[in-house]
Amino acid sequence: MDLEKLWRRYKENQDHAAWEQLVEVYASLVKHVAGRMRLTLPAHVEYDDLVGSGIFGLLTAIDRFEPQRGIKFETFAVNRIRGAILDSLRAADWAPRSLRQREREVARAYGIVERRLGRPATASEVATQLGIDIKELYELERQINQVAFLSLDAPLSSTEDGDQGSLGARIIDDNDEGNPLQALEEEEKKHLLAQAVQALPEKEQLVVSLYYYEDLNIKEIAQVLDVSESRISQLHTRALLRLRGFLLCHSAELDIAERQQPSTKRAVGQGE
């Protein structure tokens, strides 16, 4: 099959038959990407669902591909296929609610221990705070890491104002209306987050900086640090737990301050 001629027929004449043939030719690429991604996901995520989502990425790639640029279609399409699969996983929020709750508990434990000790907490100290065995903590972090994979394995998407600073969005839950952090001005949130990042252990701080602020992907960061991609993913997960723990503790302090404020005002009023 002359792929070059097929691409020309589709791009120049919008030949639907050529389009169908291109989809058929490259469908195996979707199966390949879905198969590799399936290895990193929980057992209940269906391979066929990944393929179905990946097809949308393939169709987008075929529509946007420009053969004259000299880039291999396979290289161009893989990122679109992976992106479509990741988008569908995020939309489905396949992480069980119980795991979300445990993630919050682990993050809070990091925050409590680190606030008390004034330094990064060890896994042993966090396990003690949670009242669990360290092996159980490692297993929890492994499961949480599978959720964090969705964030780390895809390019950051820009917001409408061009801001790539989605780190804060991934740490502070904008849907949590009861969270006092939501009352803070954007600049205050950024300042607080910068404090939290500065308190991270060196390697975790570097991963966060390279990914969220320097726009490096997981593979590039692994090359910089000369470690495996899975190790980068682990460091990223633990960094997010520490950051969220830091903010949860700060949120709790804000909540206490807000509850004390009315009584303070009453006391001032009575004094007058």
Question: For tokens 């950024």, what's the residue?
Answer: 190
Q: Mean pLDDT over residues 165-175, rounded? A: 56
Q: Tell me the C-alpha distance between 132 and 109, whole Å.
A: 11
pLDDT at 156 over 80: no
Q: Tell me the C-alpha distance between 44 and 151, whole Å.
A: 19
Question: For tokens 């993050």, what's the residue?
Answer: 107
SS3 175: coil
Tokens of 120: 């990064």
The predicted structure's pLDDT at residue 9: 92
Sequence-distant (6+) residues with CB within 8 A of 174 are 182
As to burial, measured by CB atoms within 10 angstroms (0-12 exposed, 13-18 middle, 19+ buried), residue 107 is buried
One-letter amino acid at 241 equals: L
Q: Mean pLDDT over residues 169-179, rounded? A: 52
218-267 pLDDT tens trace: 888 999 999 998 898 889 989 999 998 998 887 766 555 555 555 444 44
Q: Tell me the C-alpha distance between 5 and 17, whole Å.
A: 13
The predicted structure's pLDDT at residue 63: 94
Q: Tell me the C-alpha distance between 221 and 86, whole Å.
A: 20
Rounded to the nearest integer, the mean pLDDT of the chain is: 79
Spell out the long-range contacts of 75-78 with Cβ–Cβ below 8 A and sequence spacing 24 or more.
77/26, 77/29, 78/29, 78/33
Instruction: Write the DSSP symbol of residue 262.
Output: H
Span between the terminal Cα atoms of the chain, in Å: 90
What the chain holds in terms of domains, given with CATH numbers, is: 3-92 (1.10.1740.10), 97-271 (1.20.140)
Q: Tell me the C-alpha distance between 80 and 252, whole Å.
A: 41
Q: What's phi and psi for 177, nearest 5 deg? A: -65, -20
